[in-house]
Amino acid sequence: MMVRFPFALPFIVALVVIVILVVVILRLRPKGHSAAGPEEKSWETTTPHHVFSGGPSIATGYEDLDGMLGGGIPEEFAVLILSQSYDERDLLIRKAIESNVSRGKLTFYMSADISKTQDLARSFPRNFYALNPMADKMGQGFENVTKIPDVGNLSDLNISSNEFLDAHTDVGKGNLLIIDLVTDILLRNKAVTTRKWLSEFIAKRKTAHFTIMATLDPAVASKEDTEATVGVFDGIIEIFERELQERSRRFLVVKKMYGHDYSDEELMLDRQKLLGRTGAHGD
């Protein structure tokens, strides 16, 4: 034993040092990451960070997003949903409408899309009004749809829309206006003109205690026009697509909510939740 001890001692010391280094590395390693790397993160099981509510808000009806916003969209805010024409965007808008009308609050929807307007008008016969330039093409059975001027004439559109909204608005708060026309307006008018119209129109509706949600498709509008438009809004919510585990997934991130706390974590949208189905994950 006395002969072999000098040779065994360096080996034992080296082994102890290695074990200590492994323990230290494991303790210092950030939690929530696996050896497979960040792309293998299980988004389906991630619980979004909830923010404490900082004031009155209007719920979007999508629980995960409402938690990230501290209860919902702050009252009398104008929030832009920056998204391509994804199903998830339209489902989120529908969810917000459903949430507001179910509370007995008035919701107004401005769009040039006939199919979406007809579907929403049928689905929400009470506490819901749609304004569409093509309303006269929809036929009978759409008493809650009103014709407005084409987006090419912003002066007439402004006058007509404000007159209707003023005549049908509740005195109290809780009125929700969804402007699903911004992309159309931007394509028919210059960015400067669109920004001016939005600024004036949104300011007018805020004085009447409206909360506003609008949509803009950045894939259709130029980058310069998009940047010129987003500055009008108090809040920005972006929906984007990313490959995850060899499948296309849609994510949502809150990029701005002026003066309010919010979670800036990326949230993978669950189509089943948006559709009102429980017990199943999105596709």
Rg from Cα positions in the chain: 26
Contact indicator for 102, 170 with CB cutoff of 8 Å: no
**What is the model's pLDDT at position 31?**
43
- CA atoms of 215 and 91, how far apart (whole Å): 12
**What is the model's pLDDT at position 49?**
60
Please count the residues of the chain: 283
At residue 143, the 3 state secondary structure works out as: coil
**What is the model's pLDDT at position 277?**
65
> Across the beta sheet with 145-147, what order do the strands follow?
145-147, 128-132, 107-111, 175-180, 210-216, 78-82, 235-244, 247-257, 267-268
Q: Which CATH superfamily is domain 43-274 in?
A: P-loop containing nucleotide triphosphate hydrolases (3.40.50.300)
DSSP 149: -
At residue 197, the 3 state secondary structure works out as: helix
**What is the model's pLDDT at position 13?**
61
Candidates 102, 167, 162; CA nearest to 128 is 102
pLDDT along the chain (283 residues), means of 10: 53 64 57 40 50 80 96 96 96 97 96 97 96 93 95 96 93 90 95 96 96 96 92 97 90 96 95 74 44
Q: Where are the alpha helices (DSSP H) in the chain?
A: 5-28, 63-68, 87-102, 114-123, 154-168, 182-188, 191-207, 223-230, 271-274
Sign of CA dihedral 167, 172, 178, 184: positive
**What is the model's pLDDT at position 139?**
85
